[in-house]
Structure 1
Amino acid sequence: MGTFYNPDRDITNIKLRYPKEIKYNGEFIAGKFMKYLLAQGLDKKRVVKFCRYAKVVSEWLNKPFDQIDEEDIEEFLAIVNTSKYAEWTKMDIKLTMRKILQCLGKEELDKFTLTIKRHEERLPEILSEDTIKKMVQVASEVDWRDAALLGVAYETAARPNELQSMLIRDVVETPYGFRVSLKGKTGERRLPVVLFASTLKKWLMIHPFAKDPEKPVFCSLASNYLGEFLSYSHFSKIFKKYAKKAGVKNGINPYIFRHSRLTVMAKHMTEAELCEFAGWIQGSKMARVYVHLSGRDIEDKYLQIYGLKEREDENNKTKLVTCMRCQMQNNEIEKFCVRCGYPLTSEAVREVLEGDVFKQELKKMLKELIG
């Protein structure tokens, strides 16, 4: 706990450990190769990833990188193509080899392509919006911080580190709910929070450091780490905890929420809009994968043409209730407006009318009228 992921620590470890741990290429990876990557302007997390993949490649080839030839490249490709790694990981490992060759001035050996087999382009398993709502509901009965984290994670499709680093000053209340600023790989982007605005509102009302703009929104509540950033492992435990409580059996991690949301949004956004929403660079291959594999509900639209299926709007699956007094957008599960306390349901109105406070106020008004 204490701080969110800091790549500087991993870079330091690579510099200290790789020269001792890696037989042939440790000093190259921790020295010249790392400097080359940083000089290209890559962020430090990417540098760490490429260095780790370079270690894997070194172990596969078992010889100094500056001595590799065409035969070694063929052996490398045979190993990576038949490995059990996911297709996207295989592409990253090949990209690592390309950067190693560029760093050594051996570009003539770079004759392989960086593509993913079309049949291997599959979206990960996703959670339905009903399942997300159930997890948020279960969490709200235990901890409003956790409920807000789950809700915001889904609605914004934010990466875990973007949520970890979100500060109080990054959250602005709006007429429709909130606007949050996320700092990701492509810079800062601002996204609305509407579906789970009331859940976030409840957490901010009891946040122990709500008036400190530099404190994390989803901070630690442990006494010895109160107000500090949550670690990724703690984040992951929160998601798994409420998945289990909600009866979700599939493996859950924070990225499943992101994938689930992007799968829904890919049916309603253009590739350019999806890139902006997800925090990808314009033209990202990931946007094309989501849009292509979501099918934009082609089957549903085809059946609608012939009257075989009614139109559905997945974006509006979660209903919002507008407060008549302050116009706050409340989640359908709320009985009272989280901003002003106005009753939103007939049940809430009955609770007010039958409550002792209302009866006392009514008696007071009658006495004043009678004089």
Structure 2
Amino acid sequence: MVKRYDPNRIPDLNPPENREILIRYVRHNELNRVSPNTITNKIARLAPFLKWAGIVADKIPASTIEDYFLDRMGRLSQATINGDVIEWRVFYNWLIGADAAKELLKNIQKSRKVRELPVEQILTRSDIQELINHAEKMRDKALVGLLWDSGARITEILDINIGNVTFDRFGATVIVRGKTGRRQLRLVSSVPDLMELIEQHPYKTNHQNPLFVTSRAYSGGGARRLAGRTVNALLDRLGKQAGIQKPCNPHAIRHARLTDLAREGLSEMELRIVAGWAKSSNMPEVYLHLSGADVERKILKSAGIVTEEEERREVAMNPVKCPRCREMNSPGSMFCRKCSMALTASSMTEIDDAQRRIQEELVRTPDLAEQLIALLKKNK
């Protein structure tokens, strides 16, 4: 069954004719097989504009649209403004025809500035691990891990149902639906947390339920899918708690992951598949240029300044296999979640130090040892 956009999500507008116009626009897009996520984004750009204008859409003069454009240009990013302009053109082409739309919007242009990506603001693997470490709920740990591991859009992640995740001997795969249709993504680092999330999931008996749900169900008891704004607030809070002085949001994680994959040597075609970009998109060039095939690291390596051993010391976002019980644990785990064995040198040292402190305390306080023995006998 094809999922459809719910027109009840369109807010009331004044004049009310504008809401009817948007309902017709939704129908037009559905007939042209536009995904519900894309329709949601379209309405999110158009509804605030129509509410601000307060005039029936096909009667709004060019000067009003230009005023709205200038008002947003002073407050929002260029990428957001460009998205507005693109959607206005598509909407008015449908509403009043291509020629009339071209005349109406002739004074409004997208920015032609070359897309630049601030390298110093890109999240690192260490940053991602810190976000995961500061998450308290298993849902949030799995969410951050999946955002990184998949490199998918937040709308694609939140649209995943339990049944879209399949575990196998290599880890897991997940099917997402994006702008270019459905695609299957291989998962590695997020698998342990995903397994635990599904094991704890309150609605796991029905695989059609959302993978990521809120703590509050609908009044009828049904699962409530996690919202994008909730994820934005969560990541912002985790970033502040971790002391990360970079933007922490779903797109920043996707941006970081795709940059990381480009550095790892994925080709342009492979990046298109993972990211869900159309063949006409120039986005792969941006990431391949940004990574520069990691030119700096290669120069340092050829000069003997950086060795292969030092490269391996970089944070590896890979599951950790317990040498005792063979359980796969999430990246950065200090102890096995199944048998509690120490998995890192630091955790082994921590155990040794704790044992030493206990022994010293027992030597200093003989009565404490007798109390512990009595307590153990009592609880047998």
CA offset digits 1:196-252 (Å, max 9, x no partner): 322222223322333332222222334766743223333333323433332335453
Q: One-letter code of the match for 1:126?
A: I
Do the aligned partners of residues 341 and 174 (structure 1) sit closer, same or farther apart at CA in structure 2, a change above 3 Å counting? farther
CA offset digits 1:173-203 (Å, max 9, x no partner): 2113222222222222222222132222222
In the alignment, what sits opposite 1:228? Answer: 224
Is residue 2:43 matched to residue 1:43? no
CA offset digits 1:262-299 (Å, max 9, x no partner): 22112231222112111222332223222223333223
State the secondary structure of the residue aligned to 1:189.
strand
Q: One-letter code of the match for 1:294?
A: S
Match of 1:96 among 87, 93, 114: 87
State the secondary structure of the residue aligned to 1:192.
strand
TM-score by length of 1: 0.70
Do the aligned partners of residues 28 and 106 (structure 1) sit closer, same or farther apart at CA in structure 2, a change above 3 Å counting? farther
Q: Aligned partners of 1:169 and 1:38: how far apart in 2?
A: 25
Whether contact under 8 Å (1:185, 1:279) holds in the other structure is yes
Is residue 2:25 matched to residue 1:30? no
Match of 1:261 among 257, 263, 282: 257
Whether contact under 8 Å (1:177, 1:329) holds in the other structure is no
What pairs up with 1:277-288 in 2 under 5 angstroms?
277-288=274-285
**Bigger mean CA offset, 84-93 vs 111-120:** 111-120
Q: Aligned partners of 1:169 and 1:50: how far apart in 2?
A: 28
What pairs up with 1:175-324 in 2 under 5 angstroms?
175-222=169-216, 227-267=223-263, 268-311=265-308, 312=311, 317-323=316-322
State the secondary structure of the residue aligned to 2:175.
strand
| CA drift at 1:166 | 1.8
Do the aligned partners of residues 169 and 84 (structure 1) sit closer, same or farther apart at CA in structure 2, a change above 3 Å counting? same
Whether contact under 8 Å (1:209, 1:227) holds in the other structure is yes
Residue identity (%): 23
Do the aligned partners of residues 314 and 151 (structure 1) sit closer, same or farther apart at CA in structure 2, a change above 3 Å counting? farther
Whether contact under 8 Å (1:157, 1:278) holds in the other structure is yes
Q: Aligned partners of 1:158 and 1:58: how far apart in 2?
A: 32
Do the aligned partners of residues 157 and 93 (structure 1) sit closer, same or farther apart at CA in structure 2, a change above 3 Å counting? same
Is residue 2:116 matched to residue 1:121? yes
The answer for unaligned runs of 5 or more in structure 1 is 355-371
Q: Which has the higher contact order (CA 8 A, sep 6+)?
A: 1
In the comparison of the two structures, how many residue pairs are matched?
A: 337
State the secondary structure of the residue aligned to 1:179.
strand
State the secondary structure of the residue aligned to 1:188.
strand
Q: Aligned partners of 2:344 and 2:58: how far apart in 1?
A: 73
Do the aligned partners of residues 159 and 332 (structure 1) sit closer, same or farther apart at CA in structure 2, a change above 3 Å counting? closer
Whether contact under 8 Å (2:172, 2:187) holds in the other structure is yes
Q: Aligned partners of 1:208 and 1:11: how far apart in 2?
A: 26
Do the aligned partners of residues 57 and 345 (structure 1) sit closer, same or farther apart at CA in structure 2, a change above 3 Å counting? closer
RMSD: 4.4
| CA drift at 1:323 | 4.8
TM-score by length of 2: 0.69
Do the aligned partners of residues 12 and 129 (structure 1) sit closer, same or farther apart at CA in structure 2, a change above 3 Å counting? same
CA offset digits 1:43-84 (Å, max 9, x no partner): 344445445645649978x99757979xx7997899599655
In the alignment, what sits opposite 2:371? Answer: none
Do the aligned partners of residues 262 and 271 (structure 1) sit closer, same or farther apart at CA in structure 2, a change above 3 Å counting? same
The answer for unaligned runs of 5 or more in structure 2 is 356-380
What pairs up with 1:321-336 in 2 under 5 angstroms?
321-323=320-322, 329-334=328-333
Q: One-letter code of the match for 1:330?
A: N
Q: One-letter code of the match for 1:94?
A: V
Whether contact under 8 Å (2:125, 2:315) holds in the other structure is no
Q: Aligned partners of 1:170 and 1:187: how far apart in 2?
A: 14
State the secondary structure of the residue aligned to 1:266.
helix
In the alignment, what sits opposite 2:361? Answer: none
Whether contact under 8 Å (2:14, 2:51) holds in the other structure is no
Whether contact under 8 Å (2:203, 2:223) holds in the other structure is yes
